[in-house]
Chain A
Amino acid sequence: KQEVTQIPAALSVPEGENLVLNCSFTDSAIYNLQWFRQDPGKGLTSLLLIQSSQREQTSGRLNASLDKSSGRSTLYIAASQPGDSATYLCAVTGGATNKLIFGTGTLLAVQP
């Protein structure tokens, strides 16, 4: 059964710092991996989608990488800003099933 883990569970950094969020999964037979952002009381917003055949995706200050063989993905945020404060979740879509499995998220606080 696919399991998705995110480390750390919470992170606090000063504004301007570069940071990395981690996501690991146990079954490498995936279609894709997505990173989402969730603000308190709100729905999820898709940040980056990496297909299983891709190694990384970039959008603005965000860069996500995928290493299927090791079951890992990272989300790199450059020059963090207070507006980046939110919970970040990764999710994998299984190849063996059609299920979408979420990690438990990393709560990020960027201090001004």
Chain B
Amino acid sequence: EAQVTQNPRYLITVTGKKLTVTCSQNMNHEYMSWYRQDPGLGLRQIYYSMNVEVTDKGDVPEGYKVSRKEKRNFPLILESPSPNQTSLYFCASSSRLATGELFFGEGSRLTVL
């Protein structure tokens, strides 16, 4: 089954404790991206990757890191989480940004205390 898988789905952590949210897709997609969704602000893009080893900042990259060492995986790293990073995070992938349908993961709800 074609899917985008995120882990963990739910996480409560404390300020400053590094964490990684994993994202994996099984569709051999070139394009992958991360979004955060906040009430009243909608979905905002954090980082995206056009292909392996190619990443770029979205609209809200501060406090986040990503890597794209292999095509199927695109982890989101919070080196020192802060309470303002409490949010619902989504990973998505597409065969090609310009022409492909975007597939989303189920989301990861992160709470930073």
Contacts and interface: CB of A to CB of B under 8 A. Distances in A.
Interface string B91-103: 0100001111111
B48 A51 contact: no
A44 B42 contact: no
B107 A42 contact: yes
Contact of A46 (B35, B45, B102): B102
Contacts, number: 60
A100 B42 contact: no
Nearest to A31: B98
Interface in B1-58: 33, 35, 40-45, 48, 50, 56, 58
Given A43-B90, A44-B104, A45-B104, A104 B42 contact: yes
Interface of A: 31-32, 34, 36, 41-46, 49, 51, 89, 91, 93, 98-105
Contacts of A99: 45, 48, 58-59
Given A93-B97, A98-B56, A34 B102 contact: yes
B105 interface: yes
Interface of B: 33, 35, 40-45, 48, 50, 56, 58-59, 90, 92, 97-107
Contact of B98 (A32, A91, A103): A32
Given A99-B58, A100-B33, A43 B106 contact: yes
Q: Kindly list the 7 A-B residue pairs having the minimum CB-CB distance in the complex, ordered from nearest.
A: A43-B104, A31-B98, A102-B43, A104-B42, A44-B104, A43-B106, A46-B101
Nearest to B42: A104
A55 B92 CA distance: 25
Contacts of B56: 98
A43 B105 contact: yes
Given A51-B99, A93-B98, A44 B45 contact: no
A52 B78 CA distance: 35
Given A99-B45, A102-B43, A105-B42, A34 B101 contact: yes
B98 A49 contact: no
A32 B94 CA distance: 13
